[in-house]
Amino acid sequence: MKSALHDNTIAQELSITAKQVTVTVELLDDGATVPFLARYRKEVTGGIDEVVITSIRDRVAQLRELDKRRAAILSSLEEQGNLTDVLQAKIDAALTMTELEDLYLPYRPKRRTKAMIAKERGLEPLAENLWAQDEKFDVLTEAENYLNPEQNVETVEDALAGARDIMAEWINEDQQARASMRALYLEQGLFKTTGVRGKDVEGSKYRDYAEWEEPVATAPSHRVLAMRRGEQEGFLTFRVLVSEPAALAILSRFFLKGSGQASAQVTIAIQDCFTRLLSLSMETEARLQTKVKADETAIEVFAQNVQQLLMASPLGQKAMLAIDPGFRTGCKVVCLDRQGSLKHTDLIYPHQGPGGVAKAGDTILGLVTKFQIEAIAIGNGTAGRETETFLRTLKLPGSLPLVMVNESGASIYSASAVAREEFPGQDITVRGAVSIGRRLMDPLAELVKIDPKSIGVGQYQHDVDQGILKQRLQDVVISCVNRVGVDVNMASPQLLTAVSGVGPQLATNIVAYRQENGPFKSRTALKKVPRLGAKAFEQAAGFLRIPESEHPLDASAVHPERYPVVNAMAKDLGCTVKDLMKDTDRQKAIDLNQYITEEVGKPTLTDILTELAKPGRDPREQFEAVRFDEAVQSIEQVEPGMVLTGVITNVTAFGAFVDIGVHQDGLVHISQLANRYISDPNTVVQVNQQVKVTVLEVDIPRKRISHSMKAVVT
């Protein structure tokens, strides 16, 4: 029953049918992955995409957690003897964790409160009489009846104060009052920050927040996280405040019933409740809720950046010369074959006088010839532009591309256990250079070896909820890897780990089997891998490619379970599957309606036809190298008014950062991205996009550059 309610709830939230939710949850519970369901079970799920399937997965997990908490609360209330039919009905109907906790609040075991002490002193009946707010009620006379020196109730004021403490707790624990106050804080509250005395806030990155306030309802994610970080680092105090008169007016509407003596006592209790209890708990809740919202936005922006970086255009399998530049320590040079295997290492000093330049030039030209180099990758860190300039002075083949490669994360990889395992006899500079070269060949295959938080995009990834961030980034990596597909005979364990149904242990087993038995000759051969059973094969096979297989479909995204359908198509056309894949006229002659069955519908057949036309097609864009302005190589050479070529390195909620080849990314503020209003920078730019920017401002001491794209984007 509860499951059906959840399915209906999710269906309404996502504007799909309850049946789609039910079957999707059943398949996920049975071990199916998001990419597999999105690609190979369209008829079952009704064609919902990865985004919707992921939303179903995450929402059902939330609702199940809600059910666990609901069960724990009901159990606690039953043990206390406080569970009534009315209360149970309310708890069963609660749709959020906040509703549940508000209902449980009056019964939650807590430390001794002022209200508890007052009840122990026998003052609850007085509080109940005051709470009724009878206009004729004589407060002072009634209070005298509760004097009890043995219980420290020595005066009338002692009795009334205790009664007010009890009423204040009633107000604080009222579900409707809390809901209204919560709304006040979120809809009309203000974030307020001030600089901490004794800290050089003006000299820090938080100087803009030394005296700052803005509405909670409209504060953007990046500013919320910046204010919180400033507080954590000790530079700022950070509050969420509301108008006290507005808050008291709301509470008075709920609890004030008249204007007599009793009502006056209730008014005092309302003021005390807000000051001592509600304002503190509501501020805490508002801080938490706005943090959750800010996290969601920041994580989504970060995830989009990571996705764009992972899906960057690959140069492809080329014999590669890669350089990790340096001034004093020299430039580490490596030569890689088309499979990315290390063939040679060297060290050149092109930035240490004429002798170093000449010797470095001879070395490079010799390596290009010896290893039949087809592309040169240059890390974009220290000495990167200078090294590029040096290379362009050499008499290299005109068709040989020189490409600046974003080396963010290369140092993380080079010091990692993965790199040590790949190159146990090499130092970190060699590993870093190899990573730069491989990143140009295939960014996705190389970047999966690095923690996504370390690959050079995002700003607040260390401030957000790390569990949610990890799951979201894992989803992004898995989505990208499965969209592209993986050559099972070339892939690293890290790349295989992200394949649907594989995971770390099976990835290790696949590589071990490959090393022991040689390359896989067919998809069916994967079944010989230890622990790769029928379920894992079903989930993974369609995403694993074997280009050299005798069966032509093994190199495509057609799932083995659908090979019989393609065989039938070929047979009906009087040709082989291989011939069918090469002949577009035959493909056009296929009547898909002929092959529809209970299991295979139009969506799957359409996917199969698309795949026959371009088997194993890489969905990534064609590679295009960026060529920076050769006359501008440092921030000192950048001047306002210059129009320069750059590449987007990071997209945030407030704009985009652009690398123009001067070792310092510049900001295109959201207001400068286009000649029209932009609410989301991702609608205009994405990571790795080549752009033209006009320099607006250069601040050399602070290493800041401001750009505009208004002149070139409309």
Q: What is the reported pLDDT for 198?
A: 86
Q: What is the reported pLDDT for 639?
A: 92
Q: What is the reported pLDDT for 624?
A: 84
Q: What is the reported pLDDT for 652?
A: 86
Q: What is the reported pLDDT for 399?
A: 85
Band of residue 454 on the pLDDT scale cut at 50, 70, 90: confident
| Residue 598 confidence (pLDDT) above 80 | yes
What number is the average pLDDT over the span 96-118? 93
Cα–Cα dist 554/578, whole Å: 11
Q: What is the reported pLDDT for 537?
A: 97
What number is the average pLDDT over the span 56-67? 95
- Indicate the SS3 state at residue 246: helix
| Residue 571 confidence (pLDDT) above 70 | yes
Q: Evaluate whether 542 touches 524 at the Cβ level (below 8 Å).
A: no
Band of residue 712 on the pLDDT scale cut at 50, 70, 90: low
- Average of per-residue pLDDT values in the chain: 93
The pTM score is 0.87
647's enclosing H/E stretch is strand 643-652
Cα–Cα dist 14/49, whole Å: 12
Cα–Cα dist 221/207, whole Å: 18
Q: Evaluate whether 437 touches 377 at the Cβ level (below 8 Å).
A: yes
- Cα dihedral: 461, 463, 464, 465 (round 10): 120
| 124-132 and 261-273 helices, crossing angle to 10° | 110
| Residue 215 confidence (pLDDT) above 70 | yes
Q: What is the reported pLDDT for 341?
A: 94
473 token code pair: 């980034």
Query: Which domains, from first to last, does the chain contain?
Result: 2-107 (1.10.10.650), 320-441 (3.30.420.140), 635-708 (2.40.50.140)
Band of residue 9 on the pLDDT scale cut at 50, 70, 90: very high
Phi first, then psi: what are they for 529, rounded to 5°? Answer: -70, 130
Q: Which of 420, 180, 174, 449 is nearest to 310 (CA)?
A: 449
Q: How does pLDDT run across 635-674, given as a tens digit for each residue?
A: 999 999 999 998 998 888 889 999 898 888 899 999 999 9
Per residue, what are the HEC states of 392-439? HCCCCCCCCCEEEECCCCHHHHHCCHHHHHHCCCCCHHHHHHHHHHHH
| Residue 714 confidence (pLDDT) above 50 | no
Q: Evaluate whether 502 touches 510 at the Cβ level (below 8 Å).
A: yes
In single-letter form, the type of residue at position 433 comes to A
What number is the average pLDDT over the span 342-367? 95
57 token code pair: 């997965």
| Residue 356 confidence (pLDDT) above 60 | yes
Q: What is the reported pLDDT for 2?
A: 64
Q: What is the reported pLDDT for 15?
A: 96
- Indicate the SS3 state at residue 207: helix
Cα–Cα dist 448/492, whole Å: 9
Q: How does pLDDT run across 144-197, given as a tens digit for each residue?
A: 999 999 999 999 999 999 999 999 999 999 999 999 999 999 999 999 999 998
Q: What is the reported pLDDT for 702?
A: 83
Q: Evaluate whether 454 touches 323 at the Cβ level (below 8 Å).
A: no
| Residue 486 confidence (pLDDT) above 80 | yes
Q: Which residues contact 15 (CB under 8 A, 6 or more apart)?
A: none
Q: Which of 692, 712, 695 is nearest to 704 (CA)?
A: 695
Phi first, then psi: what are they for 368, rounded to 5°? Answer: -60, -40
Q: What is the reported pLDDT for 121?
A: 96
Q: What is the reported pLDDT for 79?
A: 94
| Residue 1 confidence (pLDDT) above 70 | no
Quote the DSSP letter at residue 274: I
